[in-house]
């Protein structure tokens, strides 16, 4: 049906060629990623670190156990396998953990002959999270109702209910997220280009759907892209940060940092092109197994953007609400990021020579050179610093890397 069967692919294309494993055998990227990801979660602007979260979880669970004797649905959710939620869904397994939610697999006891497997996102019991959970429900409803045939690669919304003061979202059940896919099947050095191409096309279809529905996802990253069991079909998930297009509340912390477009960091108006930037970062990561912009701060991110693409257009800098945090009055970059200062990156560095994406992408024996050069061209056009000149989703869908023509 629709997206589920539109790209029947042999399993092999989602593997990694043995030659690539040999070539990059030191797994250097794996080390970088582990450190960098922890850093990304523990954002300077208020995300909880996993450690803090676990500590809170343990303390609060114990506290609640003492308080309510048998209660286990604390601020951070714990669940029992076999527990039936809302008299309707029996929990069969854990599935994932976000910063403010727990996702479990469950069996729909009223499904009859239909597929009984669902995923339930249990939002943590806190006022702000409840509100953002309700917003996520309305975004999911809009996306699902505008895609009756299930062809647009956004996770299907089934229903929602309250359970012990927790908002629970019932979603179609998928298999694993792309971060896990890269780790398991790309062995930290990336996936085959044919697989990246299939995933690219599906991600662009999802972006097109978002555009048609006037929604900005605002948190696209490998963790928020799920694949089915045979890994030939992906879907965008986690619409908890999504915004209606055109709202434009300027904030420097929208989108997870590594995937954050420069216009967000500079405080410029933003639109659908911010999601295109994040998708570009994901595609690079899928092919190389490495994070393209692992900046420790927004200032570090801007430096990495300029290393890749050269100086920002002055016109763009002049309009940014946060430009003065990163540039002096002559619009020369001012490095404040600890790592840049340690590395003695010049305070004034407008002459930075861009490397471009091409040299960062190795060609591997067995990859079609024409397809690879088209992939590089696609990324180069996505990573345009000026959001108004960045590749649009319609241009992406008709790019030769996607169409093969």
Ligand X SMILES: Nc1ncnc2c1ncn2[C@@H]1O[C@H](COP(=O)(O)OP(=O)(O)OP(=O)(O)O)[C@@H](O)[C@H]1O
Rule CB under 6 A: which residues touch ligand X? 95-96, 98-101, 103, 119, 121, 155, 171-174, 177, 223-224, 226, 237-238, 240
Q: Please give the DSSP secondary-structure letter assigned to residue 49.
A: P
Comparing CB distances to ligand X, the nearer of 132 and 323 is: 132
Distance in Å, CB of 383 to ligand X, minimum: 23
Q: Are the C-beta atoms of residues 287 and 361 closer than 8 Å to each other?
A: yes
Distance in Å, CB of 85 to ligand X, minimum: 15
In angstroms, rounded to a whole number, what is the distance separating the alpha carbons of residues 123 and 112? Answer: 27
* Tokens coding 391: 């590749």
- In 23-88, beta strands by DSSP E: 84-85
Comparing CB distances to ligand X, the nearer of 261 and 331 is: 261
Q: Please state the φ and ψ torsions of residue 18, each to the nearest 5 degrees.
A: -55, -30
Q: Are the C-beta atoms of residues 72 and 91 closer than 8 Å to each other?
A: no
- Give the residue from 137, 247, 208 showing the smallest Cα distance to 395: 208
Comparing CB distances to ligand X, the nearer of 221 and 376 is: 221
Comparing CB distances to ligand X, the nearer of 29 and 96 is: 96
Comparing CB distances to ligand X, the nearer of 24 and 278 is: 278
Three-state secondary structure call for residue 184: helix
- Give the residue from 1, 343, 404 showing the smallest Cα distance to 172: 1
Q: Is 219 a catalytic residue?
A: yes
Residues 134-155 as b/e (b if ≥16 CB within 10 A, e otherwise) read: ebbbebbebbbeebeeeebbbb
| Annotated catalytic residue within 219, 238, 275, 337 | 219
DSSP string, 274-298: HHHHHHHHHHHHHHHSS-S---SSH
Other CB atoms closer than 10 Å to residue 117's CB: what's the count? 15
Q: Contacts by 125-132 with C-beta closer than 8 Å and gap 24+?
A: 125/73, 125/74, 125/75, 125/77, 125/164, 125/165, 125/166, 126/75, 126/100, 129/100, 129/101, 129/167, 130/167, 132/100, 132/240, 132/241
Comparing CB distances to ligand X, the nearer of 48 and 322 is: 48
Q: Which residues are catalytic?
A: 219
């Amino acid at each position: 049906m629709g997206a589920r069967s539109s790209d029947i692919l042999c399993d092999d294309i989602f593997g990694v060629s043995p030659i690539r494993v040999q070539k990059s055998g030191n797994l250097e990227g794996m080390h970088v990623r582990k450190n960098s990801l922890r850093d990304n979660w523990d954002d300077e602007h208020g995300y909880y670190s996993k450690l803090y979260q676990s500590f809170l979880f343990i303390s609060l669970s114990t506290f609640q156990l003492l308080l309510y004797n048998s209660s286990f649905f604390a601020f951070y959710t714990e669940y029992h396998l076999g527990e039936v939620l809302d008299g309707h869904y029996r929990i069969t397994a854990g599935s994932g953990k976000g910063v403010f939610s727990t996702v479990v697999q469950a069996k729909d006891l009223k499904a009859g002959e239909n597929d009984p497997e669902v995923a339930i996102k249990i939002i943590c019991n806190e006022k702000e999270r409840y509100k953002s959970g309700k917003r996520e429900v309305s975004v999911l409803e809009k996306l699902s109702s505008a895609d009756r045939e299930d062809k647009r690669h956004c996770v299907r919304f089934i229903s929602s209910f309250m359970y012990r003061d927790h908002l629970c979202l019932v979603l179609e059940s998928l298999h694993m997220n792309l971060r896990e896919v890269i780790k398991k099947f790309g062995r930290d050095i990336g996936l085959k280009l044919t697989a990246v191409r299939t995933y690219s096309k599906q991600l662009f279809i999802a972006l097109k759907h978002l555009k048609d529905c006037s929604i900005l996802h605002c948190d696209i990253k490998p963790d928020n892209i799920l694949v089915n069991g045979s890994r030939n079909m992906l879907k965008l998930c986690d619409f908890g940060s999504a915004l209606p297009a055109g709202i434009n509340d300027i904030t420097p912390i929208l989108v997870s940092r590594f995937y954050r477009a420069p216009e967000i960091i500079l405080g410029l108006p933003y639109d659908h092109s911010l999601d295109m930037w994040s998708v570009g970062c994901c595609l690079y990561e899928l092919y190389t197994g490495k994070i393209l912009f692992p900046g420790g701060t927004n200032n570090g991110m801007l430096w990495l953007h300029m290393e890749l693409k050269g100086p920002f257009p002055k016109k763009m800098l002049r309009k940014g609400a946060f430009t003065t945090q990163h540039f002096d009055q002559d619009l020369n970059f001012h490095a404040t990021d600890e790592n840049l200062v340690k590395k003695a990156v010049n305070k004034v560095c407008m002459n930075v020579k861009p490397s471009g994406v091409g040299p960062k992408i190795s060609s591997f024996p067995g990859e079609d050179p024409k397809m690879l050069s088209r992939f590089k061209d696609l990324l180069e056009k996505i990573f345009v610093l000026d959001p108004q000149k960045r590749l649009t989703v319609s241009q992406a869908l008709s790019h030769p890397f996607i169409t093969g023509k």
